[in-house]
């Protein structure tokens, strides 16, 4: 606007009979008008921007020592419910101590241009971002934060603070205790339909196979102990791999039957050495929580001595093999809770399944 007016002023020609003084006054009036229009336009733009940023002004929500800071566009009642419910989820799961949540300040959708969070006076407490979502049109969005988002942010941060054993083993979503029939069925299928040898050993009642499947021991050679060469070759055949320099030769040797090459190949790619998918590990924690309580989970996760199996067993005051056998029964029955059972009775679900599979094979082989 100002530049355009200046151009117009500069290109204006004096009217016939107009003195230089009159021409100068006209140019000054035009320039002043242009500057006024420019100032008005800048003021409107600044007001619009301030109105837009006002929804990001911090709203501080607190609950049980935890703090959540969100923009004012998130309704206070909604933010309070999210924080309360998120902490309740973690308490139900026993996955994150409340004292840990009190060391952090969760924040999302906050204007941080002017060091806003520091000026709120949280001292040395660490800042942790939480997801804030919106629905509706971009012109008039509705903003909210969920309990799951609060629980997930705290759980990820807590897991990252633990020792290397727990960081390596704990599955994603370990702290949110949702468990449905479909997830129970999924854990059952993961174990009973897996092509890995340790899964088959576990199904037939071999507790050592279950322990290897869950990767809860400090095995000396994880890939060698938990997988056969055939397991790794099958995984290699099923996947699509792009190899770094030198790795293609290892892959070739593995596919040609060299077991040591298979182990070296997967180690070099930093592939997971845990046979069980994450749903099975979440299932172990779900069973453990149901059987021994959230406090036992909290004690086990806070423990830094020994293997995962030892920590879980110690926190629940049970024998390691008994704990694994209970998980196995719970998985094969999709949530069953055995009472005092003999070893034979505990193996029954797997034996019944094995008999059924053999019957199907025999039927299919008849002429």
Instruction: Please state the rounded mean pLDDT for residues 113-129.
Output: 82
Asked whether the predicted pLDDT for residue 360 surpasses 60, the reply is no
Asked whether the predicted pLDDT for residue 107 surpasses 60, the reply is yes
Asked whether the predicted pLDDT for residue 204 surpasses 70, the reply is yes
In this structure, the strands spanning 126-129 and 133-135 are: unpaired
128 φ/ψ sector (left φ>0, alpha ψ -120 to 50, else beta):
beta
- Give residue 364's pLDDT: 45
- The tens digit of pLDDT for each residue in 230-267 reads 999 988 887 666 666 567 788 889 889 999 999 998 88
H helices then E strands: how many in the chain? 19, 6
- The tens digit of pLDDT for each residue in 12-22 reads 555 556 677 77
Averaged confidence pLDDT in the chain: 82
- Give residue 342's pLDDT: 40
| Structure tokens belonging to residue 52 | 């837009």
DSSP string for residues in 87-115:
HHHHHHHT-S-HHHHTTEEEEES---TT-
Q: Phi and psi (nearest 5°) for 341?
A: -130, 145
E strands, 76-233, are 104-108, 126-129, 133-135, 142-144
Query: Please, where are the H alpha helices in the chain?
Result: 2-11, 20-54, 76-93, 98-101, 116-119, 147-161, 164-169, 181-193, 197-203, 207-214, 222-226, 229-238, 247-255, 259-268, 278-292, 294-302, 308-316, 320-332, 343-365
| Structure tokens belonging to residue 262 | 């298979």
Q: Phi and psi (nearest 5°) for 108?
A: -165, 145
Is this prediction's pTM over 0.75? no
- Give residue 176's pLDDT: 67
- The tens digit of pLDDT for each residue in 144-188 reads 999 999 999 999 999 999 999 999 999 988 886 677 888 889 899
Identify the band that residue 115 occupies on the pLDDT scale cut at 50, 70 and 90: confident
Please tell me the least confidently modeled range out of 27-31, 50-54, 190-194: 50-54
| Structure tokens belonging to residue 276 | 């069980």
Helix axes 278-292, 308-316, angle to 10 degrees: 20
Q: What distance in Å separates the CA atoms of residue 266 and residue 259, rounded to the nearest whole number? A: 11
């Amino acid at each position: 606007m100002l530049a355009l007016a200046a151009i117009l002023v500069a290109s204006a020609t004096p009217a016939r009979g107009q003195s230089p003084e009159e021409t100068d006054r006209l140019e000054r009036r035009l320039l002043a008008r242009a500057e006024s229009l420019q100032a008005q336009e800048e003021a409107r733009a600044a007001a619009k921007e301030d109105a837009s940023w006002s929804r990001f002004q911090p709203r501080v929500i607190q609950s049980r020592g935890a703090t959540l800071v969100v923009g004012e566009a998130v309704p206070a009642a909604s933010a309070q419910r999210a924080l309360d419910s998120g902490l309740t989820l973690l308490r139900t799961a026993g996955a994150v101590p409340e004292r840990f949540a009190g060391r952090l300040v969760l924040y999302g959708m906050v204007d941080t241009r002017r060091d806003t969070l520091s000026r709120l006076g949280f001292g040395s407490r660490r800042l942790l971002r939480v997801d804030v979502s919106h629905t509706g049109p971009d012109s008039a969005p509705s903003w909210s934060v969920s309990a799951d988002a609060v629980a997930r942010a705290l759980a990820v941060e807590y897991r990252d603070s633990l020792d290397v054993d727990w960081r390596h083993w704990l599955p994603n979503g370990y702290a949110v205790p949702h468990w449905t029939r479909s997830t129970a069925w999924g854990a059952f299928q993961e174990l009973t339909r897996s092509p890995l040898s340790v899964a088959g050993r576990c199904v037939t009642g071999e507790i050592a196979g279950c322990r290897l499947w869950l990767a809860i021991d400090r095995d000396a050679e994880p890939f060698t102990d938990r997988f056969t060469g055939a397991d790794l070759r099958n995984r290699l055949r099923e996947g699509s791999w792009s190899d770094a320099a030198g790795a293609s030769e290892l892959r070739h040797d593995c596919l040609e039957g060299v077991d040591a090459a298979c182990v070296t190949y997967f180690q070099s790619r930093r592939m997971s050495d845990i046979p069980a998918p994450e749903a099975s590990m979440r299932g172990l924690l779900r069973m453990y929580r149901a059987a021994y309580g959230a406090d036992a989970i909290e004690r086990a996760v806070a423990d830094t001595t020994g293997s995962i199996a030892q920590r879980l067993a110690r926190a629940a005051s049970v024998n390691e093999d008994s704990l694994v056998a209970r998980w196995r029964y719970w998985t094969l029955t999709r949530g069953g809770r055995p009472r005092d059972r003999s070893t034979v009775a505990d193996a029954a679900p797997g034996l019944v399944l094995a008999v059924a599979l053999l019957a199907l094979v025999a039927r299919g082989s008849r002429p």
